Structure 1
């Protein structure tokens, strides 16, 4: 049933079949934005190795880990750091600095540390007859797959898909590098079937899966239990939480949002991340 409304500036009366309040419109826009991110999260993605934390990554603090994971979202199919998929030339230091939200000086310092730990290496590449300095990330830490890609035969059973658009959007919306470092550290615990954080992520028998306790996660993160719990409850992007905390009896179960991090091959069933989408519409 149509309702009549008056334009307070002109005095004109108009009939409107339906309308939203300001709060309803804001909630609707947030929900639509979340849906758009979910749609985009299907591609592209980079595989990040779960067992890499046994190596040079252990020498980085959470902020540096965040920079490194962000940098991974800019690699091409040869692991060269580029501004985007269509870019012909590698990223310059200034462009990397802009992508990481830091100064050129900080970028140089971080890249030197990454290079010293063999996380990255530098090389020259030829593009249209011109030589360019390029940064490459070691495939021990991440890689992308595709037809004819350099790492198309690399195994993915111990790697997590990090959806590029989702992580970059989360950073633009205010997630700090240390927050992204927290996210990076958590990928080593993501279970293949359920996306839960577990102590034995390669276990396929659900009866044998051991969920990761808050205390155990806090120890890995190098934070207090209170700080870790706060992170889990606060990290979000596009009105969706990065993690879900589910209470089952006395046990707390932690789940990673599959719109950002996902292990299985192919597209994920929407029901796997239903709780994140439902919460995003509030």
Structure 2
């Protein structure tokens, strides 16, 4: 059923199919805000810096890089390592060991190395009158944003969203630390608009984008071309592949799954990740 309304300025009679009162519109907008908050809460993420792969990170093995990326998914809005952002106290060494599925001795060795490289630091903090020794990750490597958060004004144009639940689930499903280190190394190449791995990931002109070749990626990984190709074709979680490979003519293009790694601000259009969802059931 349509209704007629008069435009007060022009006097024109307009026929519309539906309308909302001011109160209804305000209620609708509030509902959409709540939906957005719920959606963000269901898909929390940490920003991982793309330009952090020189210096300290170059001293880490793929396995150590994997452990470090996993640690990033446990930071709160001050970059303190906690079981989750709402946890009241920091994770103890034994908690980190449990989360990474390694021994206390191994995690101590790892933390000492990361601290020596200034990738993490430790501080004594006081919460509700009790003292705790907390692990913090240097914000040059990762950070989270939120209203009133310490890094809320930090720029994200050279950072990639790592979806926390996705990466943690992938690890629980059997993705190995060295595999996650492989994933971490690709973050520096994710193109802003397409999620393709590119030599020039900041290029906004699609026609000028130069995709990263399999040979160049293998060189970065310190693996053979064959091993790199197998890795791209094998890494999976939740019934999806972590990377997609598309050949156009002689050019092979590699794309990161946006349900795990995503470059742009805001929510992504599901068509960007359609090839990872189609025929997965």
- Give the TM bin, normalised by the shorter chain: 0.7 to 0.9
CA distance in 1, matches of 2:170, 2:277: 16
- SS where residue 161 of structure 1 aligns? strand
Distance apart, 1:86 and its partner CA: 2.3
Q: Does 1:208 align with 2:208?
A: yes
**Partner of residue 249, structure 1:** 249
**Partner of residue 100, structure 2:** 100
Distance apart, 1:41 and its partner CA: 9.1
CA distance in 1, matches of 2:208, 2:227: 29
CA RMSD of aligned residues (A): 1.1
CA distance in 2, matches of 1:227, 1:100: 25
Q: Single out whichever of 80-89 and 105-114 deviates more from structure 2.
A: 80-89
- SS where residue 252 of structure 1 aligns? strand
CA distance in 1, matches of 2:133, 2:106: 19
Q: Which runs of 4+ in 1 moved over 4 A?
A: 39-42
Kindly provide the CA deviation profile for residues 31-64 of structure 1, in whole angstroms up to 9, marking residues without a partner as x.
xxxxxxxx78962000000010012100000000
Q: Which runs of 5+ in 2 are unaligned?
A: 1-38
Kindly provide the CA deviation profile for residues 58-116 of structure 1, in whole angstroms up to 9, marking residues without a partner as x.
00000000000000000000000001122100000110001001000000000000000
Distance apart, 1:280 and its partner CA: 1.8
Conservation of the 8 A alpha-carbon contact between 2:77 and 2:85 = no
- Give TM-score scaled by structure 2 length: 0.85
**Partner of residue 259, structure 1:** 259
Conservation of the 8 A alpha-carbon contact between 1:120 and 1:135 = yes
Alignment of 1:1-282 (within 5 A): 43-281=43-281
Conservation of the 8 A alpha-carbon contact between 1:240 and 1:279 = no
Distance apart, 1:145 and its partner CA: 0.3
- SS where residue 51 of structure 2 aligns? helix
- Give TM-score scaled by structure 1 length: 0.85
CA distance in 1, matches of 2:105, 2:122: 17
Conservation of the 8 A alpha-carbon contact between 1:120 and 1:137 = yes
Distance apart, 1:143 and its partner CA: 0.2
CA distance in 2, matches of 1:264, 1:42: 18
Question: Which of the two has higher C-alpha Rg?
Answer: 2
Higher relative contact order (CA 8 A, sep 6+): 1
Conservation of the 8 A alpha-carbon contact between 1:42 and 1:163 = no
Distance apart, 1:249 and its partner CA: 1.0
Q: Which runs of 5+ in 1 are unaligned?
A: 1-38
